[in-house]
Chain A
Amino acid sequence: MTQKHIVEARGIHKHFGALHVLKGVDLKVDERELVFVIGPSGSGKSTLLRCLNRLEEPSSGSVVVDGIDMLSPKTDINHARQRIGMVFQSFNLYPHMTALGNVTLALRKVAGKSRAEADALARAALDRVGLADRADHTPGQLSGGQQQRVAIARSIALEPRVMLFDEPTSALDPELVGSVLEVMRGLRESGMTMIVVSHEMGFARNAADRVVFMDDGLIVEQGPPASIFENPAHERTRAFIGQIQRH
């Protein structure tokens, strides 16, 4: 059975009290696709990502990931979330555990691996992000870039089908951004499906298959990076791209 879309979100609305943050978003993502989401602050990019793994409960709409209806009450959400990795702006590593402990926790408690199995898988994941030699360091002993790579290892160790990145490099010093982008590029080359919210336009240009521009809770337009950056159809897109390129 071939699945056309690995992520299929339809008609997502999200209200926070009186605030209408997502106003009917449709997003379909193909397997192995890298989708870049851009848009002004407050346009709902993070909320959209968080609706995809149900960290945020959409007010209405449907989300299907890898054939699983994420919003159905019959779905074991904890099980389903293993298939969707998420990387946060602020890393959110567990400060009381080593890098290895951060990666093994869900392997052991959710995926049910033995300690030995989990350790081996975690070391392999840390190796993939270039941090095999930092397994026994705590987050406090790692640089921001290294912490974010451990966070990526924590997600990929569970062998997700999709990875969500919410501004993974925004909290990093400029000289540390490259190491994280390099890991993301490696992931892409290995065929991972990725949805990335980021302001790294250079990365978007040469790694993204598609750029999605959001404004005010809606997808305004989307297309290949070249056409969105060089030749946007909408005035709002043009204004936003002009703004970030001036920086």
Chain B
Amino acid sequence: MIQTFFNLDIMMAAWPIVLSGLKNTILLSLIVVPLGLLGGLILALLASIKHPLVRWPLMAWVDFFRAFPPLVLLILLFAGLPFAGLELGGFACVAIAFFLNTGSYYGEIFRAGIESVPNGQVEAARSTGLSRLQAMRYVVLPQAVRNVLPDLLSNTLEVVKLTSLGSVVAVPELLYEARQAQSITYNPTPIVMAAVIYFLILWPLVRLLSRLENRALAGRR
């Protein structure tokens, strides 16, 4: 049993491969999370323009990409776009798919945060001469982000987990490299290593999330 799943020799041998996978997972997360946050922020700012010409297309966009399974979206981009003469490579496809998918989720979170800030805040800011954009930036957004911090963090956790989808389009991230190592060594130990590493990087985030959620609950009481 231990020889099969926790084989030390295989761990040593697979370590360099798994490590390079880990590096890519971290790199991918560092690209995909800010990209999703940026997309979400843009969507939420657009949503604060209450004009019907902005509102309806925006709602359709957000609904569409939230309903679209990210794996299907990814494969569609990776396998479909070449037929349109556009070959982007796995990494770019992951970045685009995440921008569209997680951006829509982040967007809804930001939007809820912005709407949680009382209108009187904007009125006070505008009455002192701040522009609409300045009021958003200095008064509304800081409060909005604080109000939805647990949701933002929880979505970020999901995004980091979802980077493993990159393995499907041959992005050499942690899961992909672990599977490579597995097929070379004919042993599942590298997959176990990947699982443990995922847990070790995500667990602190989960703890932090619990603390934030508890604090939010206490604040509401």
Contact = CB atoms under 8 A, between A and B. Distances in A.
B120 interface: yes
B128 interface: yes
Interface in B124-176: 124-131, 134, 138-139, 142-143, 146
| List of 7 A-B pairs having minimum Cβ-Cβ separation, nearest first | A106-B128, A92-B124, A110-B129, A86-B127, A92-B120, A81-B129, A82-B129
A109 B134 contact: yes
Interface string A90-109: 10111110000000011001
A93 B131 CA distance: 17
A154 B134 CA distance: 16
Nearest to A107: B128
B120 A55 contact: no
Interface in B82-131: 118, 120-121, 123-131
A184 to B, nearest CB: 17
Given A81-B126, A110-B129, A110-B130, A88 B142 contact: no
Contact of B120 (A85, A90, A96, A158): A90
B130 A109 contact: yes
25 contacts: A55-B126, A78-B126, A78-B131, A79-B129, A80-B129, A81-B126, A82-B128, A86-B124, A88-B120, A88-B123, A88-B124, A90-B120, A94-B124, A94-B139, A96-B142, A96-B143, A105-B125, A106-B129, A109-B130, A110-B128, A110-B130, A110-B134, A151-B124, A155-B127, A158-B129
A95 B124 CA distance: 12
A148 interface: no
A105 B138 contact: yes
A105 B127 contact: no
Interface size of A as a range: 20 to 34
A94 B140 CA distance: 9
B185 to A, nearest CB: 53
Given A85-B127, A94-B121, A94-B124, 6 more contacts: A81-B129, A85-B128, A93-B124, A105-B138, A105-B139, A109-B138
B131 to A, nearest CB: 5
Interface of A: 53, 55, 78-82, 84-86, 88, 90, 92-96, 105-106, 109-111, 151, 154-155, 158
Contacts of A158: 128-129
Interface string B26-67: 000000000000000000000000000000000000000000
Nearest to B121: A92
Contacts of B126: 55, 78, 81
Nearest to A90: B120
A47 B138 CA distance: 26
B215 to A, nearest CB: 15
A228 to B, nearest CB: 28
A103 to B, nearest CB: 9
Contacts of A82: 128-129
Contacts of A79: 129
Contacts of B121: 92, 94
A96 B126 CA distance: 17
Interface string B185-212: 0000000000000000000000000000
A55 B123 contact: yes
A53 B130 CA distance: 13
B129 A78 contact: yes
A192 to B, nearest CB: 16
A80 B131 CA distance: 12
Contacts of B127: 53, 55, 81, 84-86, 155
B50 to A, nearest CB: 14
Given A94-B139, A96-B142, A81 B128 contact: yes
A92 B128 contact: no
Nearest to B142: A96
A155 B128 contact: yes
Contact of B128 (A90, A95, A105): A105
A40 to B, nearest CB: 23
Contacts of A55: 123, 126-127
Nearest to B127: A86
Contacts of A88: 120, 123-124
A158 B124 CA distance: 13
B55 to A, nearest CB: 19
Contacts of A110: 128-130, 134
